[in-house]
Amino acid sequence: MRIHILGVCGTFMAGLAQILKESGHEVSGSDAQFYSPMSDYLKEININTVLGYEAALLPDAELYVIGNALSRGNESVEHILSNNLPYKSGPEILGQELFNRNVFAISGTHGKTSTAYMLTHIFNDQGRDIGYLVGGIAKNFDNPARLGTHKSFVIEADEYDSAFFDKRSKFIHYHPKNLVINNIEFDHADIFNDLSDVKKQFHHLVKIVPESGNIVFFKDDKNTDEVLQKGSYCNLIGINSEKIKINISERELVYEGNTYSLKELPLIGEHNFKNYVCAILAAQIDGIEIQDSIDSLHSFHGVKRRMDKVDEINKTKIFDDFAHHPTAIDLSTKAIRNQNQNCKILGIIELGSNTMSSGYHKESLLKSFDSIDNALILDLKESYEGSNIFNSMNDLLAELKNVAKDYDIILIMTNKDSQKFIQPLKNYLEK
């Protein structure tokens, strides 16, 4: 089938292009702009691309896959609708391709990308040709997706809606047999009104896990437990339950009375420890012993832009982190503080998501960087006030120029382009 993907340069859509191509389809794509690393990746896998959405540029196809970044008014979208051309959302077509696979869906507000890559790495290291599609780029992987030959498939399962015409959460389309729920908090304020809306979507997801399936979750995560209490029909693998316990300070997993140490695993922080545990227990569902998973994870080097050390200039270390929610910011700052007790640490936080820029998390945001010495916050929508809050990029960079050399570590936290902070920062530190 000839398939054309609109919005192909997004991480998910580029990964989908790879999956569809491996499935035997003829795949092309278009986007408003092409940028690294996805543009390089699309070129490597020989996906023909079109720059721009003008109707005249839209190639003939048997199916159009419309990304959720596109909306009414887009010239290609209008052409497809007006001419009654066949179209689907990305998650919808992916779900069809995976229908006969043993899908491991990794969900939750935080930790999806890291946990999904951890699980995929375990499968790979244990000799399985596993298929996967994960947002972001892991250091152990050349590509964000592949079909694989093994019956199991790992996917990062997002609660965001699928497209302007497909308002179901992405993860509903994947029909998971095995589900990981890392945590549930309020996010995506552009499509959800409140936490109850988010929990409702997770409830819909839980309801479609078959009786023969499994759900890995944290029993002490109040929101997750409340969702499961509404009704679940499969085997529940509850962390911090009678059978499975974790000791965060000692980085230990206790499973049916047996204690497993995760102390030597390389990724720092409480969040990564919990991600490790979820991946280990998910792998066990598919027959991989706990200690074998731990052994495999020693060689997992993490995900780019997840506490990623990008440079060290004149003894000042620069870290790039995707944290953009108060819980994630809190966990990231605590992790870097625990590893650097005597260092002076500056955080740079961009309120880039719809949720954060709305002011919904105002109180928790201001507490989330208590572990570090100072934070500079970029708030373009002026939802917050304070001496360390800047409403323009130029003002923040001016302050950063003044103080950068006073710190041993500078931690950049944003879900947008971090290079707009990193490059000027390098220039300031080199002078």
Which of 88-92, 187-191, 298-302, 364-368 has the highest average model confidence (pLDDT)?
88-92
Is the separation of the CB atoms in 155 and 106 below 8 Å?
Answer: yes
Strands annotated E in 32-114: 48-51, 63-66, 87-89, 102-107
Residue of higher predicted confidence among 139 and 239 = 239
According to the model, what pLDDT value does residue 380 have?
A: 85
Is the separation of the CB atoms in 406 and 428 below 8 Å?
Answer: no
Reported as type and span, the H/E element at residue 214 is strand 214-218
How far, in Å, CA of 224 to CA of 278, rounded?
Answer: 14
Residue of higher predicted confidence among 137 and 114 = 114
Q: Is the peptide bond before 59 cis (omega within 30 degrees of 0)?
A: no
Backbone φ and ψ for 419, nearest 5 degrees, come out as -65, -25
According to the model, what pLDDT value does residue 354 have?
A: 65
User: 238-272 burial by CB neighbour count: b if 16+ within 10 A, else e?
Assistant: bbeeeebebeeeebbbebeeeebebeebebbbbbb
Strands annotated E in 67-141: 87-89, 102-107, 131-133
pLDDT digits (tens, 9 = 90+) for 181-239: 999 988 777 778 889 999 999 999 999 999 999 999 999 999 999 999 999 999 999 99
What single DSSP character describes residue 172?
A: G
According to the model, what pLDDT value does residue 373 have?
A: 94
In the block, residue with structure tokens 């691309």: 49
Strands annotated E in 12-85: 26-31, 48-51, 63-66
According to the model, what pLDDT value does residue 401 have?
A: 94
According to the model, what pLDDT value does residue 182 have?
A: 95
Is the separation of the CB atoms in 101 and 154 below 8 Å?
Answer: no
If pLDDT is split at 50, 70 and 90, which confidence band does 172 have?
very high
According to the model, what pLDDT value does residue 39 have?
A: 82
pLDDT digits (tens, 9 = 90+) for 65-117: 999 889 999 999 999 999 999 999 999 999 999 999 999 999 998 889 999 99
Q: Is 126 exposed, middle or buried (0-12, 13-18, 19+ CB in 10 A)?
A: middle
> In this predicted structure, which of 28-32, 40-44, 312-316, 379-383 has the lowest mean pLDDT?
379-383
> In this predicted structure, which of 76-85, 276-285, 323-332, 396-405 has the lowest mean pLDDT?
323-332
Is the separation of the CB atoms in 256 and 241 below 8 Å?
Answer: no
Is the separation of the CB atoms in 323 and 372 below 8 Å?
Answer: no
The mean pLDDT of 276-292, rounded to a whole number, is 98
The mean pLDDT of 250-273, rounded to a whole number, is 93
According to the model, what pLDDT value does residue 360 have?
A: 64
According to the model, what pLDDT value does residue 386 have?
A: 78
Q: Which of 132, 112, 244 is nearest to 184 (CA)?
A: 112
pLDDT digits (tens, 9 = 90+) for 334-362: 889 988 999 999 999 998 776 666 666 76
Torsion-angle region of residue 315: left (phi > 0), alpha (psi -120 to 50) or beta? left
In the block, residue with structure tokens 């990231």: 332
Q: For the chain, what is the mean pLDDT?
A: 91
User: 156-174 burial by CB neighbour count: b if 16+ within 10 A, else e?
Assistant: bbbbbbbbbbbeebbbbbb
How far, in Å, CA of 333 to CA of 3, rounded?
Answer: 43
CB neighbourhood size of 134 (10 A): 26
Q: Which of 357, 111, 94, 63 is nearest to 217 (CA)?
A: 111
Please give the domain boundaries of the chain with CATH numbers for all domains.
Answer: 2-89 (3.40.50.720), 98-297 (3.40.1190.10), 308-430 (3.90.190.20)
Non-local CB neighbours of 91 within 8 Å, separated by 6+ positions: 162, 166, 170, 171, 172, 173, 174
The SS3 call for residue 155 is strand
Which of 276-290, 310-324, 416-430 has the highest average model confidence (pLDDT)?
276-290
Is the separation of the CB atoms in 28 and 62 below 8 Å?
Answer: no
Q: Is 425 exposed, middle or buried (0-12, 13-18, 19+ CB in 10 A)?
A: buried
According to the model, what pLDDT value does residue 80 have?
A: 98
